[in-house]
Structures are given as structure tokens and as C-alpha cells.
Amino acid sequence: MNRSAPIFGFNDARGAIVHEVVHRVMSATREPLLALNDAAYHEVKRLEASKSPEDARELAEWQRVARTIGRMADGERQRLLREHAERIAWDVAGNFDARVYDVSTRLVPPLVTALLSPRKLATLARDPRELISLDALADKVVVEGPIETLQQLVRVGTAVYVPTHLSNMDSIVFGYALERAGLPPATYGAGKNLFTNPILSFFMHNLGAYRVDRRIRHTLYKDVLKTYSCALLERGYHSLFFPGGTRSRSGGVERRLKLGLVGSAFEAYTRTLLAGKERRIFFVPATINYLITLEAETLIADFLSDAGKGRFIIEDDESTRVGRVAAFMRKLLGMDGAVVIRFSAPMDPFGNRVDAEGRSYDLRGREVDPATYVRDLRGEVTIDHARDAQYARDLGEEICRAYARDTVVMATHVVATAVIAWLRQQTPRADLFQVLRQRETVIPRDDLAREVVALRERLRALEAQGCVRLGHDVRYGTGGDLVERALRAFAGYHAAPVLASRSEGIAICDTNLLFYYQNRLAAHGVAWDVIAPSGMPAGLGVRPPPPPIGAAREVGVTPELDASAQDAAVGGAA
């Protein structure tokens, strides 16, 4: 790994970054009284419901602030505001220890292999170089996309990775993908609740993660968080955001994003122009695709429950239980190609395509200067938050289109979609919950295989248009093969059977989980779409990608297919 990436010198710059963040927040806050009053109101409201002794002390402090800020002199309010801004900034600020990074990249393969196959671990241990090699996971976790282009881009600008979000495993999996692809590590915001696990917390504290407390809603906190993100991007720290904001409860691909932190890229780019040191920023959408999902049972139950509509943070799901995580890892990584991380084509903050040298091109293939997007009518570069908010909305739509195009379809998605479609055929007038109550129904094996093949043909047509990606098993397997692969994937991990093989056919056992896995294809118009965001039509079609720039070659960094199959795949996707 090239150690020239700015993150390897993060700790030396950490104090200066925090100081800059506090200075900017203080400069931008015109009314300290209003800022402190807003913070006190929201914090008192949040902390009153807590029974923690620490929260009780903090509640008393904020209640004191609420009672006294009206009588404070301006200088005292400024001092108090600065104290809170500094406390927030230091709490948010991450840390990066190159030694921990080196250890983590060496520990991941043997630890995962130990969970997966102790016998294989013993074989690899005969050669220490093989034991710590990322190649040990190559056939289990596949990384795809325009890797060579990204490797060049990170040398000339700042990358902002914006992947889909399904699981608390995503940060670990995506970090592995960056290492596997030969890309430098990135800073990323992680929910503060994830720092409660002592082992996970140790690595997150030392690998560039900064803490995001989603329970805190006041403006001062949000301003510090956005300013911190902006400062990192200005200084060239590659960043990772999950713009969905939280894990997908339904299992579907995100079609509407939360763009607060993502929007900081516009200000960061503008500030580099104003400083006379333009540093281009590139957005890289990516999809993280699992054959099975660690927290699927909890997430879909939350989605289907009325109470779940208001619950943003789940603190008691499968990812908090060591036994469930271990069982998930053994199951998932016991099957080849069970995780696929696919990088999409990079774009600039304004949705233009980007080539390997960092040049931007519009939809007609004409080179454009991204600086023109942040100039006013007089041609001067300006920071304009209202303008940038619209750019962020447009960018969000482009990212969502990339998600749909680069969703990798796996056997569990296809089989679940076929089963739900079959159930709907049996009760054509039933609503969602009536369909989901049809458990222990048996579908003839041949009927299910035919449904799977018919669905796969529709997906192949979409892939030929550049609207989705088929996994290796879906592209080449027969209907019966895909049913068997899904049965093996579902068996032995989920608390209750999802599908079960019977003499008379395939028994449908857990319709909630089948609904969860079929939702991965809902945005593509081939699955039952009852999860479209408000104001968005169900079964929304996917826009094909624009023509490619030049002759950029896409590569996968793992030998997913043999040579003949690779040729066939390239030909089929052309």
C-alpha cells in the first residue's frame, strides 16, 4: 500500500483540524443565544428519557444553561458556545494509527478463515505469507468495477465513496474492498452506538472512523459534523459515507438519500478554489451485495411493524451478539462469491462522468470545468448553500441510478422474488400482509424452477441494457441450480427455516424474510414493489447508463470467472 495518502499523517494534523472546525463554526454562528437555546432545548428533551447517571449529570448541565443563557453577557455566551463546539469536535474527531491498520489487514484473513474453515487455516499456517494474504478470501468476497480508473483518480483528487447500506458489517467489508482493490483507506462516519463493542471500537477508533451520534438533533452538533467532514475533504482525506443514513430496513436498494454530510463536498471543493489550490472531488457509488444479510430478521420485522417507522437506531439486533456474528460469517463465507462489492463509475459532485485523469464530461461527452458550477453571474467563485443543496439533490438522484445499475443479483434475491410472485398468483387480490401470512404452503419444485428461469431472462434483458448486474451463479446456473443454492444459503443461519425441501416440493416457511430478499429487485420493476419512497412510483424503471468515456477498462480484482466465462460475460454485457 502506498503510504502517501493523507490519512497516514492524520494524527499529526488532528489538532489543527479540530481548531479549524471550531473557528469556522464560531465564525458562521451569528446568534450564539439562539444556537445555545436550540442545543439546550433538544438536549433536555433527549436526556430526560434516559436513566443513565452520566446522562443525568449532562441533563442537569443543559437545564442550567437553559435557565441562565438569557441573562448572560455576549462574551459569556461566546465562551460557552466555543466550549460546547470544542467538546463536540473532539468527540467527533477520529484517529488513525498506521500500526493498527497494518495489524488489522493481517488479522482479517486468518480470523475469517478460522471462522470459516479451521482446516484451511492450518494449511495456510505452513506459509505465513499465505496466512496473512488477502487472497485467502478472494473466492468468498468478490470486488468488481473500474478499479484501475479509481487507482489513478485517488492520486489526483479526493474520493468520496458512497455505498449502499445493508448491515453493520458494511464498514468492515468495504474497508476490505478498498485494501483488496489497492486503494488507500478512507475516513468514515460511524454511529456512536457501534463504539460500544470493545473489540470493534478499538479498531474503529484507530482506523479513521469519526463518531456520529444520531440521537443528537440540535443545529450546533450538525454544524460541527458537517464542518469536520468539509475540512477532511479539503485536506484530501478520502471519505466514506453511507448516504442512505441507516441500514435499509426493507432490504431494498436506496432510492432516496440523506445528503447532509455528502453535501459538505460542494463547500470543500469551493474552498479549495477560493484558496487557489483546486482539489477535485470524485464520488464513487458502490453496492455491497450479500447472499444473506446478518440482521435480515430484525430489519424486516422493524420495517413491517408500525413502531419501526419511528425507530432510527436498533441497538439489539444480530450484530450485537457474538454467536450470531460468528454463525453468519461461517455460513456466508462457506459459499463462494457470497459477498460482492461493486464500485460504480466515478462522477464529479455535479453528476458528470469522470475519466482516469480526473477530467469531467457531460452527457454529450464534452469536457466541462467543474469550477463553472460554483461561479456566480459575475464569474466569481462563491459559497452558496442554497445552490449547493440543489446540486446535492441532483447528485443524490445520480447516485441512486448508479445503485440500481450496479446491484448484483444473487440466487437468494431471484428465488425469493419468484416465490413471492408465485404466492401473489395464488391470491391475486391479497394485500402485502395477506400474502405474508401464507406460510407452510408448498410450491412444486419444477414450477419454482420455471419461475426462476423466467425471472432470470427478464434480468438478462435488463443487464444487456446496462440496468443491473447478474452474479456469476445467476448468469450461468439453471433454475434448479439457483433454487438449490438459495436453499443452502438460507439453511443453517436464520433462526427459523426460510424455505425447506419436501418430497412434494419446496415449503415456504418464512415469508417475511422472502419479502426482505425480494425487495433487492423492487427498484428494477421485476419484483413486487411496495417499498417505493413517498412520491415515487412503484416499480420505477432504471435509466441505462450514458455511453462510456473513451476505452476505460473495467476489472475485477478477484478471478471470479475462468477465461471463457469471462469472455462470455463481457460479450453478454456489451
Looking at residue 136, what is its pLDDT? 52
Q: How confident is the model at residue 135 (pLDDT cuts 50, 70, 90)?
A: low
Is 562 or 446 the better-scoring residue by pLDDT? 446
The answer to whether residue 572 scores a pLDDT higher than 60 is no
The answer to whether residue 574 scores a pLDDT higher than 60 is no
Looking at residue 466, what is its pLDDT? 94
The answer to whether residue 569 scores a pLDDT higher than 70 is no
Looking at residue 326, what is its pLDDT? 58
Looking at residue 199, what is its pLDDT? 57
Mean pLDDT of the 164-181 span: 87
Highest mean pLDDT (candidates 189-193, 234-238, 256-260):
234-238
Among the residue ranges 20-34, 388-402, 487-501, the one predicted with the least confidence is 487-501
CA dihedral over 356, 234, 342, 371, signed as positive or negative: negative
Cα separations in angstroms, 214 against 67, 189, 193, 200:
26, 11, 9, 19
Q: What is the DSSP letter of 555?
A: E
Looking at residue 222, what is its pLDDT? 94
Question: What's the CA gap between 467 and 401, in Å, rounded?
Answer: 9
The answer to whether residue 2 scores a pLDDT higher than 70 is no
User: In this structure, what are the phi and psi dihedrals at residue 528, rounded to the nearest 5 degrees?
Assistant: -65, 120
Give the tens place of pLDDT for each residue, 350-364.
999 999 999 999 989
Mean of the per-residue pLDDT values of the chain: 83
For residue 372, what are the contacts with CB-CB under 8 A and spacing of at least 6? none
Contact 494, 510 (CB under 8 A): yes
For residue 256, what are the contacts with CB-CB under 8 A and spacing of at least 6? 396, 400, 533, 536
Q: How confident is the model at residue 290 (pLDDT cuts 50, 70, 90)?
A: very high
Looking at residue 420, what is its pLDDT? 96
Looking at residue 428, what is its pLDDT? 85
Cβ count within 10 A of residue 169 = 21
Contact 324, 369 (CB under 8 A): no
Looking at residue 192, what is its pLDDT? 67
Looking at residue 540, what is its pLDDT? 55
Q: How confident is the model at residue 127 (pLDDT cuts 50, 70, 90)?
A: very low
Q: What is the end-to-end Cα distance of the chain in Å, rounded?
A: 33
Looking at residue 495, what is its pLDDT? 76
Looking at residue 522, what is its pLDDT? 95
Looking at residue 7, what is its pLDDT? 80
Mean pLDDT of the 321-331 span: 54
Looking at residue 17, what is its pLDDT? 94
Q: Which contacts qualify for 485-492: CB closer than 8 Å, 24 or more apart? A: 485/335, 485/411, 486/411, 486/412, 486/414, 486/415, 486/416, 488/335, 489/291, 489/292, 489/331, 489/335, 489/338, 489/411, 489/412, 490/292, 490/412, 492/327, 492/331
Question: What's the CA gap between 489 and 474, in Å, rounded?
Answer: 14
Is 294 or 507 the better-scoring residue by pLDDT? 507
Helix or strand (DSSP H, E) at 509: none
pTM of the model: 0.84
Segments of 418-479 assigned E as strands: 441-443, 469-470
For residue 300, what are the contacts with CB-CB under 8 A and spacing of at least 6? 249, 250, 251, 512, 513, 515, 516
Between helix 219-234 and helix 74-92 the angle, nearest 10°, is 60
Question: What's the CA gap between 124 and 118, in Å, rounded?
Answer: 10
Looking at residue 532, what is its pLDDT? 83
Give the tens place of pLDDT for each residue, 217-243.
999 999 999 999 999 999 999 999 899
Mean pLDDT of the 62-90 span: 95
Question: For cell 459559497, what's the residue?
Answer: 383
The answer to whether residue 429 scores a pLDDT higher than 80 is yes
Looking at residue 102, what is its pLDDT? 67
Question: What's the CA gap between 209 and 187, in Å, rounded?
Answer: 6
Q: How confident is the model at residue 311 (pLDDT cuts 50, 70, 90)?
A: low
Among the residue ranges 187-191, 452-456, 515-519, the one predicted with the least confidence is 187-191
Name the percent of the chain in helix, strand, coil, to the closest 5. Answer: 55, 10, 35
Burial classification of residue 333, based on how many CB atoms lie within 10 Å of its CB (0-12 exposed, 13-18 middle, 19 or more buried): buried
The answer to whether residue 289 scores a pLDDT higher than 90 is yes
Mean pLDDT of the 476-495 span: 90
Mean pLDDT of the 440-455 span: 94
Looking at residue 332, what is its pLDDT? 53
Question: What's the CA gap between 348 and 390, in Å, rounded?
Answer: 15
Percentage of the chain modeled with pLDDT above 70: 77
The answer to whether residue 134 scores a pLDDT higher than 60 is no
Contact 467, 529 (CB under 8 A): no
Residues in the chain: 574
Looking at residue 105, what is its pLDDT? 62
The answer to whether residue 566 scores a pLDDT higher than 50 is no
Question: What's the CA gap between 267 and 234, in Å, rounded?
Answer: 9
Measure the CA angle with vertex 233, ends 229 and 239; round to 5°.
75
